[in-house]
Chain A
Amino acid sequence: MSTATSTLQKPVKKRRKVPMPYLLLLPGMLWLITFFLIPILTLVKTSVNMDLQNYDPTSASTGSFWGNFWYAARTHEAPFARSFIYALAATLIALCIAYPLAYGIAFKSGRWKNVLLVLVVAPFFCSFILRTIAWKQILGQEGPVFHLLLNLHLVTLQTHITASPGAVIAGLSYNFLPFMTLPLYSSLERIDPRTLEASGDLYANAFTTFRKVTLPLSLPGVVAGTLLTFIPAAGDYVNAEILGNPSTTMIGNVINAQFLRTSNYTLAAALSFVFMVMIIAIVLFYISRAGTEELV
């Protein structure tokens, strides 16, 4: 680290004998290759080692049954579809809540900016599961929201707010809100206030300035934020378990149960891999349409 330099002119770097960037990259990259890339490849191997269509857990694991992926996807269409629909809904809700919040922190908070930014991350310290359980209580039959709605005659005693798709989506959008807010903030914060003034000088009203200047300039943040919300939301199973019912099962619940309860590792691995490929396909498609060149 101590020899890391700010190489501003290219000739300086070319004279070096030790390729500095590779030295800096080596430990981190080795970590990611060993504990991310190789495990993913192992997962692929695990997912084809037994024939899922004639599944026999006692047989020795040999062979490569590439049809397993197709089989896994086809037999679990509903939880796959639910995961993507719930995650999409949760992402859109989170975007609507987080955008004005990030805008306010970036432009309207003055010297409290850093404190407000930490407030966005602070809920992480009060445990994600504890907060989800709190939502279950707040929305549950004994909770304040239900009592209020009951007194207003908007619900009956038979109505349930929790144990529904709506509750799962609400929980997802709540839990991943910081992942939406932070990238939005960092792209909004980078906007030069002079561009906004220039827009005003050119007789644009506040709304036009927002639509023609602020929003397009914050688009990289929107792309990063929606991805960082959508991906964990689609793979989550805790919200569906605590706030949902058996008919809101997401793909995460299925994979988790196959891994940790049923111990059908082949099916669990195949489902995980199919899920990951779908997510990456969605991400690549989205990035290519949104037109941000470099996300990281």
Chain B
Amino acid sequence: MSKLSRWFGRNLIRIYMVMGFTYLFIPILYTIIFSFNDYIKSNLVWRGFTWHNWQTPCGVPNICSDLGQSLKIGLLATFVATILGTMIAFALGRYAFRGRPLVNTLIFLPMASPELVLGASLLTIFINLGFNLGFWTIVIAHVMFCISFVVVTVKARIASLDPRLEQAAMDLYANERETFRRITFPLVAPGIAGAALLAFSLSFDDFIITNFNSGTVETFPLFVYHNAERGLPAQANVIGSSMFLIALITVLAGQIVSRKRKIA
């Protein structure tokens, strides 16, 4: 008994982690299971197993074109937000300048504003300026709310760098540009990659801000929302599940490759 309780005490955190991740993945498991449901009209009750939905992932009008829009918007917004955010992060992390509190406030405020307010206020200005709502207004909005998250992530990485590494490079007669290219940037790169991943996942999954500024363009989250009332086709589960699995496999593969490289 005491052996068991000691094992329990030692592994408490691990047991808790398993529970936490289970909780995080229960609805995803449910989504995956119901992607195999032989549904009629609405995918709410289990009726039997079928491969049919996975064989026809685009078998419902608009679903694949909407996914394409989400991916295009996500990649474009991530690209722009990562560049702009990284530049700000370097300015904040590496320079002393006047107006720093102002910049910090302007970075912080979008994160402190509810999405609804961001979406609604952008909509008012797009209407006032006579912009056509659609693909580009969604991209503009996504870049806006992703910038702050990129800045915070990259800045944390820059702050954690050991300044002695750069000093060593300078001591070895590297000029500023070389030091940046060969020391600073490679060290900050994982932070930038993490920020880009975060920006893409925020953009890909955004619903509230997109719903305000989309006009007639539909992204995948909007597709799910619009069809939820009429009954969601199982193909939506197929798309959601496969995006999740693709993300997971990519990361696991990356991890295995990088470990092999370290051993080699």
Binding site for B on A (CB under 8 A): 1-8, 10, 12-13, 19-22, 24-25, 27-29, 31-33, 35-40, 42-43, 46, 97-98, 100-101, 103-105, 107-109, 111, 114-116, 118-135, 137-138, 142, 174, 177, 182, 186, 190, 227-228, 231-232, 234-238, 242, 252, 255-256, 259-260, 265, 268-269, 272-273, 275-276, 279-280, 283, 294-296
Contacts and interface: CB of A to CB of B under 8 A. Distances in A.
B124 A31 contact: no
> Which of B26, B95, B221 gathers most chain A CB within 10 Å?
B95
A119 B143 contact: no
Contacts of A101: 16-17, 20-21
Interface string B222-264: 0011001000100011001101101110011001000100000
A184 to B, nearest CB: 12
A28 B25 CA distance: 36
Nearest to B118: A36
B84 to A, nearest CB: 4
B107 interface: yes
A72 B14 CA distance: 49
A32 B13 contact: no
A109 B16 CA distance: 13
A142 B34 CA distance: 13
20 contacts: A6-B183, A8-B170, A20-B95, A24-B90, A28-B87, A29-B103, A35-B125, A35-B140, A35-B141, A39-B118, A101-B21, A129-B225, A130-B224, A228-B111, A234-B114, A235-B116, A259-B120, A260-B211, A265-B124, A275-B117
B31 A126 contact: yes
A19 B27 contact: no
Nearest to A276: B117
Contact of A24 (B88, B104, B107, B113): B88
Contacts of B202: 124
A242 B186 CA distance: 45
B14 A108 contact: yes
A275 B97 contact: no
A63 to B, nearest CB: 17
Contacts, number: 291
Contacts of A105: 17
B95 A252 contact: no
Interface residues of B, number: 100
B103 A131 contact: no
B109 A125 contact: no
A32 B110 CA distance: 8
Nearest to A189: B160
Given A10-B96, A123-B28, A235-B115, A28 B120 contact: no
B31 A131 contact: yes
Given A119-B248, A279-B114, 4 more contacts: A43-B117, A118-B251, A133-B228, A272-B116
A255 B120 contact: yes
Instruction: Give 5 nearest A-B pairs by CB, closest first.
Output: A235-B114, A134-B27, A5-B176, A28-B84, A39-B121
Contact of B116 (A2, A120, A256): A256
Contacts of A232: 114-115
> Which of A12, A280, A296 gathers most chain B CB within 10 Å?
A296
A121 B115 CA distance: 19
Contacts of A22: 91, 97
Nearest to B109: A36
Contact of A259 (B31, B170, B212, B241): B212
Given A39-B124, A122-B247, A130 B237 contact: yes
Given A104-B16, A296-B107, A231 B124 contact: no
A238 to B, nearest CB: 6
Contact of A127 (B94, B95, B144, B224): B224
B197 A238 contact: no
Contacts of B21: 101, 116, 119
Contacts of A121: 197-198, 201
B257 to A, nearest CB: 12
A129 B183 CA distance: 42
B252 A115 contact: yes
Contact of A31 (B17, B95, B144, B160): B144
Contacts of B204: 124-125
B255 A35 contact: no
